[in-house]
Chains A and B, each alone.
Chain A
Amino acid sequence: MNRYLQLVLKNSLRNRRRSMLTIASMAVSICLIGVLLALSRALFYGGDTTPGQAKRLIVHHKIALTQDLPVAYEQTIKKIPGVQAVTRLRWFGGTYRDARDPKNRFAQFAIEPQVLFDVHPEFQIPETEKQAFNSQKTACVASRPLAEKLGLKLGERITLVGGMSPTTLALTLVGVFDAPTDNSSVLYFNWDYLRDSLPAGDSSRDMVQQFYVEAENKDAVGGIAQQIDDVFADSPCPTKSEPEQAFMLSFVSFLGNLKLFLAAICGAVTFTMLLISTNTLSMSVRERTREVGILKTLGFSSGEILSMVTGEATLIAFAGGLLGCGLATGLCAGIASAMRSAPGFVSVVRGLGFSPLVAALTLSIALVVGLVSSVVPALQAARTSIVDTLQYNG
């Protein structure tokens, strides 16, 4: 057995330039497959859920996110067993300075300051800043990436001109919070301030778009979601409650039919690898026709020759696969860090990581490609008769 391995290794290394080129070509393709698999995992399965996310639910209107819910729902939701904290959330698509500059676009949410940090226990903020946010009606807090992006300082005035809401808010920045896993640019301010600044007759005064619910533990999330939706099922505004992760992922469909797109690309890449590997191996085998004849004359069986060619293909594919996985790890990390400041739902890509599972899957694709691509050339080599091969000339 060891003898064959040596022979396989020698054969692989004989035309080093060719082997290197094939390995490089395989590595690039395998890297691509690895990144696409990691991407599918992040987009469709949410990558890794943070412990904070696992306990959080989002309640919105059943028909569409853009339809409002009465703020009074909050009291009903609070009474559902297992619910630890609830905050209303109203999206305020206001304009900060010049909206044509993409830097000035960020998410703005009206919430209840007293419960924001209960619903988001992972947010870190100094106690004094938290107190200031609770006590001043026009206060707002920004996420660290937003504060850094706009160079905001504590005490700074932030004016938001309403789009949907006919009002202009004059806010004061009292705090900046850190969220370890979330790097989005977001500003939170007091819902009461928004409500009171809307004209008395405005029909949307007591309306919100979402409720954030913190469950007591992550196993309770599914049951709570069902109970909330059941309670409001026959009301004028039926709700839909989802775990935060699922809610974020529902935006992925905005990117188009991504599943089909990714599947088509993975198919094309795998097919290309098969072509490349088969082609290289055929070229090698053809060049060695005479050698194969000699091996057969020496008493090597067809089966042994077949397994030697297969072994060579698998070895090269494995090397390409390993190198590809290495490249993919780097590329995933690069994409993830480049997406840190990506807006909105694209930010799910932040969780892009080349996990051991994805690596194993990628590597097995490489091995399968190696094996499958060797079938035709190996049979070719095994089948030729000794006389033919020895007569072969070039």
Chain B
Amino acid sequence: MHELSIANSILEAVRKERERLNGARVTKVGVRIGELAGVDPEALSFGFEVLVKDTDFEPLPLAIESVPRRHECSQCRHVFTVVDYRMDCPACGSTDSRCIGGDELELAYLEVEEL
């Protein structure tokens, strides 16, 4: 259960951005989480909600975009999404591919009210 400390890192980053924006009102924060990141979206949402409660950030919804694992075929360079650990290329059938994404743990965007 490290989602609470990850939620805290997100809130810290939001705090920094808000200062940079001279205290603009932040209305939403978007994050991107890969299936290989080892982070449970539900636990993260819950942790974030708890941290935001009774602070001047409230209400601050956290939008989580779940990102699948992506591979690039080493033969034909086709990029595909890996489902149920099936890693053979759907374009050419090659079993030789490499992982190019899916472990993201990123702050994607903030929505702020116009000053």
The answer to whether A and B interact is: no
